[in-house]
Amino acid sequence: MQPNTLLDAILDEAGISHAGLAAHVNQAGRRRSLALRYEHTAVARWLKGQRPRGQVPDLICEVLAARLHRPVTLDDIGLGVPGRPGTASAGTLSGFVERATALWRSDEQQRPHVLGAPAVTGTPAVMPVWEWENPPEDTDVSRGGRHRVTAADIETLRAARAHYEQMYRKAGGIATRTRIVGFLNAEAAPLLRGSYTDATGRQLHRATGGLVAVAGICAYDSDAHGLAQRYFHQALRLAKASGDRGLGAYVIALLVNQSLFMREFRQAVAFAEAALRAAGRHITPALASDLYAMQAKAYAHLGDAGSALACIRRAESAAERIRRGHEPDETGYVQPGLVNVQVAEALLSLGELAAAREHAAAAVDNPAHDRGRVHRLAMLSTIELRQGNAEKAVVTAVQMAEQARGMESQRLRDRLRAVREHLARCGSPGTTEAAELIDGALRVPL
């Protein structure tokens, strides 16, 4: 079940409470000789994604139309059914825009049913990737609206994406998410509803897709996995509308990373294959290297050493072809050493400790942004502890804790806790100092 953000948005627009909607639906039902006894708890369930039974969706439209003094359709309240009269816009790009912007609004307002929604699995998780990869394509994304979108507007979105990505790298996703979501609502949403030609529209959808992807990264970093997944799916739809296959492959790489975290290893392999296959010549060496490296991690967790090692070789080969200045902005995260730390994690899962440490040390020796350096140091410390080299592990852990200080990131907290637990079990000299530094970093309020 996915939260119904469209219903949430239109209830707010109508200024009607959950209890008020329930009472009005009951009253409208009586006029149709229906004995309804809904309360505010039923409306809360509808907002979480439960579909009301029978004639109730039509009654909700009737109540809201009277309140807003305009027609309200099932699509408007997020209850459209494909193939049913009155739901023609459910699968259109304009319909997607309304659903997407409703989610941004609900996120900015901190709606619990949106923030706490679990990630979907199975077919609902796979379908957005399948739809990105397969026809039909968007033949015309032009739109008529009040505000004419200009090249300057699109450049503003591109600059914002770069700004919020840097903020995320330095401060973490928790601190950045509220800011980027506020920007999406204030700046991107009006532009998507504006007036633009097909050519301008494709640039607009691409720029917005890049922003939405960063919002998803920040949600993932905040442990809001259902929300992150919805942002990634939105970014994938925007990538399709833009016609940029490379952007779509980048978004799928984000879904691969989330699948790895959720231990959906077969899904991670399949998603990476889809990105590599569908993007084809549009995929850059940096993105290919990351996708292959993540595939290697997935295969390693599945116990398939042969496939993992084959993917490691492909990742290293692609990394050698990276040319700085010839990559899109989105793949800037594939910095020198990133593939090394990914490979180190795969080798660690395979029990190849010496090779894993070699790659982890190489990753640490390469410059990285603040956040990436914490992850690299955490991986090196973990491998050193597994090797029984507690003295070196403590030194590395101290560097990691000092680097992490001040960052608001759930994923970094996970890494810090994991290293601390390994140090505690080790019980060697110097672990107390390292543990205290990690505890200090963990005391940063989230």
pLDDT at 429: 65
Q: Give the pLDDT mean for 325-348.
A: 94
Number of helices and strands (H, E) in the chain? Answer: 22, 0
75-97 pLDDT, tens digit each:
888 888 654 444 444 578 988 99
Terminal Cα distance for the chain, rounded: 28
142-188 pLDDT, tens digit each:
999 888 999 999 999 999 999 999 999 998 999 999 999 999 999 99
pLDDT value at 12 more than 80: yes
Q: Give the pLDDT mean for 261-287.
A: 94
Closest C-alpha among 286, 219, 264 to residue 275: 286
Closest C-alpha among 39, 81, 33 to residue 57: 81
pLDDT at 83: 46
- DSSP string for 124-143: HHHHHHHHHHSSPP-S---B
Confidence of residue 360 (pLDDT cuts 50, 70, 90): very high
Q: Give the pLDDT mean for 389-400.
A: 87
* Residue 146 burial class via C-beta count within 10 angstroms: exposed 0-12, middle 13-18, buried 19 and up: exposed
pLDDT at 292: 98
